[in-house]
Amino acid sequence: MSVIYMDNAATSWPKPAETMAAINHYNDMIGGSPGRSGHRLSVDAGRCVIDAREALAELFGISNPLRIVFTGNATEALNIAIFGFLAAGDHVITSGMEHNSVMRPLRALEQQGVDVTVIPCSPRGEIDPGDVEKAIGAATRAIYLTHASNVTGTIMPIADVGAIAREKGIMFCVDAAQSAGAVPLDVEDMKIDFLAFTGHKSLFGPQGTGGFYVADGFAKNIRPIMMGGTGSRSESEEHPDFLPDKFEPGTVNGIGIAGLGAGVRFILDRGVDHIRNHEMGLTDMLILGLGEIPGVVVHGGRDARRQTTAVSFSIETVSPAAIALILDEEYQIMSRPGLQCAPAAHRTIGTFPVGTVRLSPGYFTSEDDIGRALSAIAAIAGRIVRL
Amino acid sequence: MNVSKSYMILLFDSTSATLLAEKVLKKEGIPIKIIPVPRHISSDCGVCIRVSPQDREKIEELLADVVDRAEICVL
């Protein structure tokens, strides 16, 4: 029996054939250092990188592709937005549904005098934008908010919070690791100042790709957390202050970015709405099916229209790790048990410290796969009930 | 490419900006060539765009909204 991959919230798999074709083409025919030399293989490598910037800019409603910076992953992008922007005495706001890629940098800065307000969310994982507005004070410099929870899939009211941040003139940083490519995103409409994305989830790129968009007004106020060679202004021993070079020291992951660019084109060719509709149908089927199994508790909002494909569930009295092991070994179903690197979110939904089992179908998941997963979980839950 | 006796060099901040400008100009059918930055213009190790001076006006118009800074050297 073939493997059923339901861990797309961790990394998407399989990747589109287009992604792999672009990676192979880069390896076979290009292979130079992007932006470093003048020979044709270097220039062609640079062209792959600029093509990917353009595709991402189109996807996120960004007019200037040079405002897209590549990093190794969303975590690195978020670290730049946090460590590069804040100083002792600053106040920042975040939510009770954040991943550790936001929480750990903020908690570290808290030790150094940054004042952090964590807005509590409902047990369903939802935030009230009014609570965010009330928390803003004179020293507030930024709001860091996930677009979609990696535990419950809950989609946050980004446009509402963006409007509040814009009105107050504070930086609005969105963690789009779970949403980019899967949920419509527009930095202008949603008033996003800093958008951190990963390449290897719903953007269909390989692991080791990611990046961010930063708005004109904030780029100059963010310090690079690394400096080095950029292929530009080589005569100077001062690091450049223009985008994207300011935040792209060292050779970028050219071969990975070539794959990422192809992954984003795959999305643009089909349309985010088409992908979203397909994934909503699968999520709906999963939530409804799990809800009908005796002994199974589904966490979060339980509404496919208001979440991504990430669905967390528990079977009373059985540890998530045990369920995930049975799913893998007996049913060839890949899931993610535990806290999913988001202890704050589990505290919010009441599943800390045990955690949950998370299933996250993807664009390449079929309804048949969902059916097989539901049968497997029903069998496991039935076994427990009989005990 | 129709390059007569003189030609013009477009210099940008970064390779990213250079290759973005290349895409914009190519799309409009303007004859261009990517070349390493000539040593007597700048010690930068990057690339620049060689164009014909007769396209100058159109190029300036096309790139106005695309890149922040561009230097033009007529050689």
Predicted confidence (pLDDT) per residue in A226-271, tens digit: 999 888 887 889 999 999 999 999 999 999 999 999 999 999 999 9
> What pLDDT is attached to residue A280?
98
% of chain B with per-residue pLDDT over 90: 52
Residues A176, A142 contacting (CB under 8 angstroms) = no
Measured in angstroms, the CA of B20 and the nearest CA of chain A are apart by: 6
pLDDT reading at A45 higher than 80 = yes
Here the ipTM equals 0.84
Q: Given A37, A38, A232, which is nearest B14 (Cβ)?
A: A232
The tens digit of pLDDT for each residue in A111-124 reads 999 999 999 999 99
> What pLDDT is attached to residue A221?
97
Domain A4-14+272-386 shares a fold with domain A17-270? no
Q: What is the average per-residue pLDDT within A16-45?
A: 94
Report the CATH architecture of A17-270. Answer: 3-Layer(aba) Sandwich (3.40)
Measured in angstroms, the CA of B55 and the nearest CA of chain A are apart by: 23
Cis geometry, peptide bond prior to residue B53 (ω within 30 degrees of 0): no
Confidence of residue A224 (pLDDT cuts 50, 70, 90): very high
Confidence of residue B45 (pLDDT cuts 50, 70, 90): low
> What pLDDT is attached to residue A385?
65
Query: Which residues of chain A have a CB within 8 Å of the CB of B67?
Result: 66
pLDDT reading at A387 higher than 70 = no
Residues A20, A259 contacting (CB under 8 angstroms) = yes
Q: What is the average per-residue pLDDT within A15-44?
A: 94
pLDDT reading at A164 higher than 90 = yes
Q: Note whether B13 contacts A240, CB cutoff 8 Å.
A: yes
> What pLDDT is attached to residue B36?
87
The tens digit of pLDDT for each residue in A180-223 reads 999 999 999 999 999 999 999 999 999 999 999 999 999 999 99
> What pLDDT is attached to residue B65?
82
> What pLDDT is attached to residue A386?
64
Q: Give the separation between CA A318 and CA A45, rounded to whole angstroms.
A: 51
Query: Which residues of chain B have a CB within 8 Å of the CB of A230?
Result: 14
Confidence of residue B38 (pLDDT cuts 50, 70, 90): confident
pLDDT reading at B1 higher than 60 = no
CA triple A333-A336-A338, angle to 5 deg: 140
Q: Note whether A35 contacts B36, CB cutoff 8 Å.
A: no
Query: Which residues of chain B have a CB within 8 Å of the CB of A46?
Result: 15-16, 18-19, 47
The tens digit of pLDDT for each residue in A306-319 reads 999 999 999 988 99
Identify residues of A whose CB sits under 8 angstroms from chain B CBs: 34-38, 43, 46-47, 49-50, 53-54, 64-66, 230-235, 240, 242, 244-245
Q: Note whether A230 contacts B14, CB cutoff 8 Å.
A: yes
User: Could you tell me if residue A292 is left (phi over 0), alpha (psi between -120 and 50 degrees) or otherwise beta?
Assistant: alpha
pLDDT reading at A26 higher than 60 = yes
% of chain A with per-residue pLDDT over 90: 94
Q: What is the average per-residue pLDDT within A20-38?
A: 93
Residues A26, A255 contacting (CB under 8 angstroms) = yes
Give whole-number Cα distances, A43 to A37, A261, A290, in Å.
Answer: 7, 16, 52
Measured in angstroms, the CA of A217 and the nearest CA of chain B are apart by: 14
> What pLDDT is attached to residue A111?
98
% of chain A with per-residue pLDDT over 70: 99
Q: By mean pLDDT, which of A29-38, A88-97, A165-174 is the weakest? A: A29-38
The tens digit of pLDDT for each residue in A266-316 reads 999 999 999 999 999 999 999 999 999 999 999 999 999 999 999 999 998
Interface test with A, best of B19, B40, B48, B50 (most A CBs within 10 A): B19
Q: What is the average per-residue pLDDT within B4-19?
A: 86
Confidence of residue B3 (pLDDT cuts 50, 70, 90): very low
Average pLDDT, rounded, for chain B: 85
Q: What is the average per-residue pLDDT within A56-68?
A: 97
> What pLDDT is attached to residue A35?
83
The tens digit of pLDDT for each residue in A328-365 reads 999 999 999 999 999 999 999 999 999 999 999 999 99
Closest of A165, A179, A157, A169 to residue A99, by C-alpha: A179
| Tokens representing residue B36 in the block | 């390493």
Query: Which residues of chain A have a CB within 8 Å of the CB of B34?
Result: 38, 43
Cis geometry, peptide bond prior to residue A337 (ω within 30 degrees of 0): no
**In sequence order, which residues have a C-beta less than 8 Å from that of residue A89 and are 6 or more positions away?**
A113, A114, A115, A139
Average pLDDT, rounded, for chain A: 96
Pick the CATH number of A4-14+272-386 from 1.25.40.10, 3.50.50.60, 3.90.1150.10, 3.40.50.2300: 3.90.1150.10
Q: Give the separation between CA A4 and CA A164, rounded to whole angstroms.
A: 42
Identify residues of B whose CB sits under 8 angstroms from chain A CBs: 13-20, 22-23, 34-37, 42-47, 66-69
Pairs across A and B, CB distance < 8 A: 75
Cis geometry, peptide bond prior to residue A120 (ω within 30 degrees of 0): no
Where are the domains positioned within chain A? 4-14+272-386, 17-270
